[in-house]
A and B are shown apart, each in its own frame.
Chain A
Amino acid sequence: MQCLRSRKYIVAILIAVAFVLLNGAGRAADDARRAVLPGADRFGASEGVPPATPTFRGEERVGWVFSTREVASGGGYSARPLDVLVGLDLGCRITGAELLEQHEPILVLGISGDTLASFVRQYAGLDVAHRIAIGPAAGGQAVQAISHATISSYALHDIILGAARAVARSRGLPCALGGGGAARLDLDSFEPEGWEELRAAGSIGRLMITAGEAAEALRRAGATNSASATLPPESNYVALYAALATPAQIGANLLGRAEHARLLAEAAPGSSFIFLAGEGAYSFKGTAWVRTGTFERIQLVQAERTIALTATEHRPVARLRAAGAPELRETALFLLPPEAGFDPGRPWRLDLAIAGHRAEAGAALAVFALPYTLPRRHLLPAPPSSEAAETGEEAAVPLWRRAWAAQSGRLAVLALALVALCTVLMLQNPLSRRPPLWRAVRVTGLAFTLVWLGWYAGAQLSIVNLLSFIAALRTGFSWEPFLLDPLGFVLWAFVAVSLLFWGRGIFCGWLCPFGALQELLNLGARRLGMPQLAIPFAVHERLWPVKYIIFLGLLGLALGPTALAFMAAEVEPFKTAIILRFVRSPPFVAYAFALLLAGLFVERFFCRYLCPLGAALALPARLGIFQWLRRHRQCGAPCQLCAVSCPVQAIHPEGRINPNECITCLKCQTLYHDERRCPALRLRQKTQPAGRGGLP
């Protein structure tokens, strides 16, 4: 009995706690909303498309609060959207913006959360009905990009403005709709509608030609025989349907919401989707287009423009989703790029040619027109011209192209450095015959990698890149997020190719800023006479697998929640030591210092035993097609000179170089050519003159 009662209490307490917690959560959410829309005292439920929370002061509506992630799923680096909470008033003014969440590896690597949050707060007070520039303010409204993170700034800029404008448009705010000017398409609105409804409303246009009409038109054009003449005159020769599938109301109803969204993502902004379908004896496609690349039976005409439809623009329609669609003989979708000059808001027509033959050689052509005018309900009035100009110019250039253009100078330096590195490796033998030169090249290279590549340009490859790649493969792969980081992209491409020739060594030994930091520090420590800890090979060998275990662990986590994997990836001190240059909270800095400290006594301690990226790159090292590091017959048996001098102890006691561990520093090669120190060479010097002299 006692027991039962206490259990009841516990349940009651739990319920109370849950209630308080939930209430607290609700209040916290309201607090966040109040922060972005000051002066609001009541928030409705999130509603509408795109979803936004209506906000009131008393009974008066003052604006909306929305999350950019809910409004538009922006393509982030890790295929996970950034999320910004934005308040918008009735005058198209952003009342406040707060960063809610980000899982962007570029951001994780590059910028502190505070920097991002203060970047986002700049948008408070800006008017989205007008142009908002990023970078130096040239008279108008502008925000300042985060230095060293312009790409992240552009990404945030696009999602905040994109979402705010979508909400303003969808709510019919007069400021967003503007006055006059050319009409724009309503791309977003969607309500299920069947084929017949779309037909009746004029969203799908139709042209019906009976066999008799076709035969008569061909006869006028001089044709003496035509397929249509053999059919009953009243029979349907061809019924052609045409629709502008760009607005979701038409496109998503015809093709399905997912397919429509996919097309919007695939096509360049400003593209138009022309849907065509036909039934009847005559095919509007014909078969020649497969060979010639041109659909020669149709052309699109708008005002003074004639637009040929080609195989390049053609997309097959996998499945027609519209309810009640007739049995269609054929369907096609044409993706007209913006360069085609097609204006979806203006009337157009589709010309359909029916060919017949004449008694003399040559074809006769009869042309029928299917006029199409987009019903006005699919149009939005135009916003002010300044905004149209902005979206025009910004949408025209993809984000990643802007990133590459902005970093062209750095890319040039990196390209030069990579060429220099290749030259060094190609000239491996002459270089390693001159140890002082080799030492100079090595220290210069490492210093460049650490200072320019790492600390200045922030181009430290990381296991996080690999994890995002894997995450992206699972959730609809696209190159775009990776192209957003031009230096990283080029480095990864270079490393991928170099893996085939030299294994992990090119990256680990030459291009890893943290590796360079460890090696340079160790070099200094030796100069200062610090004792080096010689780890017995048996122990050393048994510590190798640790890094593989860490890598596999991260891989496993990456298959689960991505955020967790990124947190675990902090096992890499790269972000602390290179990207943030040790300006970080003490635990992280202490961890990085601890690793560097260990590196003073055991050269490249982190690389040898812990680095998950090194492990990932080591795995394909066995593929290495070439073995360019030279060995003598005596190496390992009995001589252990190289094995002892190898900075990462990658040489087995029996003399074999382990490609999984080798960092291609070329130190063993300097010894290979060293006639004073290499026992094998000295032996040869002794024996050769004796042998020659021994001859009579």
Chain B
Amino acid sequence: MTQGRAIVLSGPLRRRALGILAVGGGLGGSAALQERGRPPTPVQEWRGAALGAEAHILLLHPDPAKARLALGAVVAEIERLESEFSLFRADSALSRLNRDGCLPRPSLDMRQLVAEALRLGDLTEGVFDVTVQPLWRLHARYADGPPPAKLAAGLALVGYRHIDLGAAILRFARPGMAITLNGIAQGYITDRVTDMLRDAGLPDVLVDVGELRGTGRGLDGHPWRVGLEHPAVRDRNLEVSLADAAVATSCGRGTPFSADACRHHILDPCTGLCPPADRAASVTAPNATLADGLATALVLLPHQATSLVRRAGAVDAILSEPGLPLQRVG
């Protein structure tokens, strides 16, 4: 038995700081399949890292060699996209953009992702804003929170409409601006990887490269099922079925700046402040980029969850916050 219980995706997922509890039908499902006389499909498992987070791929394919070949291409693609979107690599396209204020000959990936970021900005009426990077730097520098004057100066640099997305050159309209794609790049990489595997003839995959996306059948012959963890919902598992869909979870506790997690990586572009750290949002959407961006926006804008999910074309969303009832919309 190569598959079964062991298929538990867990571990410190940096941004969410939460684990995915369980995946698939587990043992029971495959036992049922065997009873029907069909040999189980071999499972290929890959573990690695992407954009600083642990990455995990599960593949169902009868030909392990073909699966391994496809996984090799996936690893290279993740590496390539990291060299585009990573904030931590000084030579990445994103770092060059932030340093120089412009990026000549942006790759199609960069243009596509920034276009998507601008669209999410429009969809969320500016709540999702990739230009909060100057604020993030302030929060990272001042242990007790940035002084008001600095915060005001930082806020003046925020505004995704000041990104000039030209096909030949991508640039900022204001000097000193900087962007972070951490709110959607993991979703984008998840999507790329899933699409690549599907194009390579591997339709039954669960990809967890920062965000989760499942296509085809899971281990029990049904769509992949994953369990989510929210800090406010400790007593039960939130289960989501991924029928060619992606789920992304946002929660401030993922990367806290302060010990009490009062300040963390999710920043309100209007105030420069952080929403409650234990507020969490999970969004299910057709693709991980959208799910990823919307989840971030919903943490900032929980009251508009219903209309946002509908407008953006997402499937549904789960919102949780200590002391408030669990909210499911969609």
* Chain A residues close to B by CB (< 8 Å): 220-222, 288, 292-294, 296, 298-299, 301, 303-306, 308, 310, 347, 351, 353, 355, 358, 360-365, 367, 369, 371
Contact = CB atoms under 8 A, between A and B. Distances in A.
A301 B79 CA distance: 12
Contact of B115 (A221, A306, A351): A221
27 contacts: A220-B287, A221-B115, A288-B167, A288-B168, A292-B168, A294-B168, A303-B73, A303-B76, A303-B79, A304-B77, A304-B80, A304-B83, A306-B80, A306-B84, A306-B107, A306-B109, A308-B105, A308-B107, A347-B73, A351-B108, A353-B108, A361-B161, A362-B115, A362-B165, A364-B115, A367-B109, A369-B199
A362 B118 contact: yes
A365 B80 contact: no
B111 interface: yes
A353 B109 CA distance: 10
A296 B287 contact: no
Contacts of B80: 301, 303-306
A310 B167 CA distance: 13
A363 B168 CA distance: 13
Interface of B: 73, 76-77, 79-80, 83-84, 105, 107-109, 111-112, 115-116, 118-119, 122, 161, 165, 167-169, 199, 286-287
Contacts of A298: 108
B76 A222 contact: no
Contacts of B165: 362-363
A432 B111 CA distance: 72
Nearest to A310: B105
B74 to A, nearest CB: 11
Contacts of B79: 303-304
**Best-buried of B80, B108, B119, B287 by chain A (most CB within 10 Å):** B108
A110 B70 CA distance: 60
Contacts of A222: 116, 119
Nearest to A358: B119
B42 to A, nearest CB: 24
Contacts of B77: 301, 303-304
A163 to B, nearest CB: 38
For the residues of A in contact with B, the DSSP-based class is: strand
Nearest to B111: A365
B249 to A, nearest CB: 22
A111 to B, nearest CB: 50
Contacts of A296: 167-168
A365 B105 CA distance: 15
Contacts of B108: 298-299, 351, 353, 365, 367
Contacts of A351: 108
Contacts of A310: 105
Contacts of B286: 220
A36 B5 CA distance: 73
Contacts of B116: 221-222
A139 to B, nearest CB: 38
Contacts of B169: 292
B119 A353 contact: no
Nearest to B112: A365
A369 B168 CA distance: 20
Contacts of A361: 161
A371 B199 contact: yes
B122 A360 contact: yes
A362 B119 contact: yes
Nearest to A360: B122
A298 B108 CA distance: 7
Contacts of A362: 115, 118-119, 122, 165
Nearest to B161: A361
Nearest to B289: A221
Contacts of A305: 80
A362 to B, nearest CB: 5
B122 A304 contact: no
Contacts of B112: 221, 353, 365, 367
A363 B107 contact: no
A42 B163 CA distance: 77
B67 to A, nearest CB: 16
Contacts of B111: 353, 363, 365
Contacts of B83: 304, 306
Nearest to B113: A365
A299 B107 contact: yes
B66 to A, nearest CB: 14
Contact of B119 (A299, A308, A364, A367): A364
A367 B196 CA distance: 12
A363 B79 CA distance: 26
A363 B119 CA distance: 9
Contacts of A303: 73, 76-77, 79-80
Given A220-B286, A292-B167, A371-B199, A304 B76 contact: yes
Nearest to B287: A220
A595 to B, nearest CB: 64
A358 B161 CA distance: 14
**Best-buried of B73, B112, B199 by chain A (most CB within 10 Å):** B112
Given A221-B115, A306-B83, A358-B119, 10 more contacts: A288-B168, A293-B168, A299-B107, A301-B77, A303-B79, A306-B107, A362-B119, A362-B122, A365-B115, A369-B199
Contacts of A371: 199
B150 to A, nearest CB: 30
Contacts of A369: 199
Contacts of B119: 221-222, 358, 360, 362, 364
Nearest to A356: B115
Which 5 residue pairs are nearest across A and B when measured between Cβ atoms? A292-B168, A296-B167, A303-B76, A304-B79, A304-B80
Nearest to A286: B167
Nearest to A359: B122
A365 B107 CA distance: 12
**Best-buried of A222, A310, A369 by chain B (most CB within 10 Å):** A222
A310 B105 CA distance: 9
A364 B286 CA distance: 17
B274 to A, nearest CB: 27
A440 to B, nearest CB: 60
A360 B118 CA distance: 10
Nearest to A289: B168
B311 to A, nearest CB: 11
**Best-buried of A294, A298, A306, A353 by chain B (most CB within 10 Å):** A306
A298 B167 CA distance: 11
A397 B84 CA distance: 33
Contacts of A292: 167-169
B171 to A, nearest CB: 13
